[in-house]
Structure 1
């Protein structure tokens, strides 16, 4: 099959792969920059992008906005001005500030999920940045794109469909996950159909990119044959030399079994997929006392939340994979070694 470049507006990625944004600190400038250098789209997660800044504990927002800008610029340097996106969750506090910081620092694309990014076109007004909502159903795609049409006379530059095998927070209820997995391909087809309506209305091309469980070249070809323009891959990029996470975090993926991957509770009420460890086992029995609130997610209330997700994610990305939360995709157990970004992209493209 002749694999075509991924075109998002005037952005052209010769490799139709978006590297998924992974917070906290798992996909920063080193991973995103090297992905973009190899022809795909590198994505930085805006979730606590400044967690290594000196003033992170005392002035979290300021540190995060500075850290985000720093990583966007560094990724641009690493990739010789390749395509760099930023994943900004709607559920984040200070969502608007993070989107604006990404624009000012020179990002090319905003990817936004974990809620409906209804006002995103208004926030980016006057800039040339591209926008791509993450959806898990044709209903969500229709709601977002109709809202953008009605209120801003704008549409998406791309739409990302995230499936139930994705890592981290899932846009599905835990009790119907198996049905969602079975029906995912049909779901992709119905979203592509829905998006076509808006392509016709705006006389433009809106590529649909499939995410969640994409692991092999064959997976990618399957979705391209269904009518998608590209795929988003996150989990596999963790097990690369260039990934920004600690080696212990990468090895947790390499060493885990299928039985180690489970759904865990999240402070924001959504199921999250992670690798079983001391933290997830403790959470089955008791709450973990919160000593500091990072004011990160809107739905989180420290008074009744079972644990601090920021602390848990920071612990793991720094290497404490027993007392931290190790988010992963449903196929993490299939990873058995750490490779370079170039090797991984070549493999996904069917070159090796």
Structure 2
């Protein structure tokens, strides 16, 4: 066992990203049942919908699972209340100050992990008392850093600054990627894009198909003035880029984004006007598979990579 498998009581140090509109109880329970740590994505759920998903996940698996909570979303107090009431034991927080909720959660016997995009914020999270951090590089699809630090650079820098367990995220979808991250100092990995393209993901099939058809260069990090996201280059993305040529204000960008744009794209399958968030590693994903197969493939490749690294002797 390593520090991540020991911390969460799981078989493999693989954590599923708690992605909005993709990470319902079916995906979370499937990942947990296959030996990883599944996360319910609370960011796209009303409080009572989250409660329903937690209860269904508890029935679908007897293995550990958690909830991912982006703290910039509304109803945060109601969400945290439900998490405590329903007996959730693991919470991943992001997009906010870890000091705000960490102690409250830990007082309720909940393990807390905070997502960061820099060593500075990793140290703040450690000081706030979290049990582990996720360091997410520029390659990721979700709300990542404005500094565009790649995972290859970010992981060893963060490792040098903190003592608590470190989870690498951003551009990881294979066993070799997992091996590379752990050699650089990570104790485990978090994968989002690879699990979007799974049978159990709640994403629309058209979005899943877009992910597996994506090539290198088909995504771009944008909307930094709001919250940096990596988008598939569709009509909505082109509209964003056209607006940037006019030196838009933050309010102009918010007006274009509007409401429910991410739901429209990823959950409802509007590939034209929807917001399609996905990581750069989509260019390496070519199939939609059951979660169990994905995790088995990753671990088989990881163990093969362990053997192959022994040949690099000079």
Relative to the length of structure 1, the TM-score reads 0.78
Residue of 311, 319, 327 corresponding to 2:269: 319
> How far apart are the structure 2 equivalents of 1:257 and 1:185?
21
SS at match of 1:169: coil
Equivalence map 1:1-352=2 (5 Å): 4=2, 6-7=4-5, 9=7, 11-23=8-20, 25-49=21-45, 64-79=46-61, 81-124=62-105, 126-146=107-127, 148=128, 155-173=129-147, 177=148, 180-181=149-150, 184-196=151-163, 206-265=164-223, 269-286=226-243, 305-308=254-257, 310-316=259-265, 317-350=267-300
How far is the alpha carbon of 1:94 from its aligned partner? 2.8
> How far apart are the structure 2 equivalents of 1:302 and 1:103?
36
> How far apart are the structure 1 equivalents of 2:142 and 2:259?
13
How far is the alpha carbon of 1:244 from its aligned partner? 0.9
SS at match of 2:107: coil
Residues 273/285 of structure 1: CA separation in 2 closer, same or farther (3 Å cut):
same
> How far apart are the structure 2 equivalents of 1:242 and 1:324?
21
Count residues with an aligned counterpart: 297
SS at match of 1:349: helix
Structure with bigger helix share is 2
Q: Which runs of 5+ in 2 are unaligned?
A: 245-249, 305-314
Q: Which runs of 5+ in 1 are unaligned?
A: 50-63, 149-154, 197-205, 288-300
Residues 145/123 of structure 1: CA separation in 2 closer, same or farther (3 Å cut):
same
CA contact under 8 A between 2:159 and 2:166: conserved in structure 1? yes
CA contact under 8 A between 2:47 and 2:75: conserved in structure 1? no
Can you list the C-alpha shifts for 1:144-193, whole angstroms capped at 9, x where unaligned? 333x2xxxxxx2211111111111222124xxx3xx22xx4343223223
Can you list the C-alpha shifts for 1:212-246, whole angstroms capped at 9, x where unaligned? 11121111112222332110000000111111111
Residues 302/84 of structure 1: CA separation in 2 closer, same or farther (3 Å cut):
farther
SS at match of 1:170: coil
Residues 227/283 of structure 1: CA separation in 2 closer, same or farther (3 Å cut):
closer
CA contact under 8 A between 2:115 and 2:135: conserved in structure 1? yes
> How far apart are the structure 1 equivalents of 2:258 and 2:278?
15
